[in-house]
């Protein structure tokens, strides 16, 4: 019970201006990462961790397909919900794989301002 309260408090943490001190994805990652080793009977995230990285990756794939379907259908509210599910499972996969959000943000920043075509061509040359 104390872990849940701490996690919720961390999600509400604000800086002096009233704005969130970190991005919601950083805060969500911290909560997800804190569930490693928790009781799988009381935490869905702990249950995912107990099943292993491959199962987490499969679940991410399922959520991605569901988001894709809603994107094709054009149902915005359902796409929003499926996108949130997909991001949650992606962050869970990162945590299971030892990938920190900062590494992904840094890679995105590196690519910022690059043409997608030029960035893909640069990857092919490597």
Q: Read off the pLDDT of each residue in 114-125 and give the average, rounded to a whole number.
A: 79
In the CATH scheme, what is the code of domain 23-125? 1.10.287.1080
Start-to-end CA span in the chain (Å): 49
pTM of structure: 0.78
The DSSP result for 9-78, as a single string, is: HHHH-B-TTSSBSS-HHHHHHHHHHHTTTS-TTT-HHHHHHHH-HHHHHHHHHHHHHHHHHHHHHT-HHH
36: left (phi over 0), alpha (psi -120 to 50) or beta: beta
H/E stretch holding 123: helix 116-125
- Per DSSP, 113 falls in state T
Question: Taking 60 as the threshold, does the pLDDT of residue 58 lie above it?
Answer: yes
Domain borders along the chain are 23-125
pLDDT digits (tens, 9 = 90+) for 89-115: 999 999 999 999 999 999 999 999 988
């Amino acid at each position: 019970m104390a872990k849940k309260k701490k996690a919720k408090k961390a999600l509400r943490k604000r800086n002096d201006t009233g704005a969130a001190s970190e991005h919601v994805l950083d805060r969500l990652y911290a909560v997800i990462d804190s569930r490693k080793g928790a009781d799988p009977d009381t935490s869905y995230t702990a249950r995912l961790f107990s099943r292993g990285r491959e199962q987490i990756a499969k679940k991410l794939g399922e959520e991605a397909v569901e988001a894709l379907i809603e994107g094709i259908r054009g149902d915005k509210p359902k796409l929003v919900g499926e996108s949130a599910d997909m991001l949650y499972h992606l962050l869970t996969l990162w945590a299971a794989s030892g990938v920190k959000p900062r590494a992904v943000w840094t890679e995105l920043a590196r690519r910022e301002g690059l043409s997608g075509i030029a960035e893909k061509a640069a990857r092919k040359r490597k």
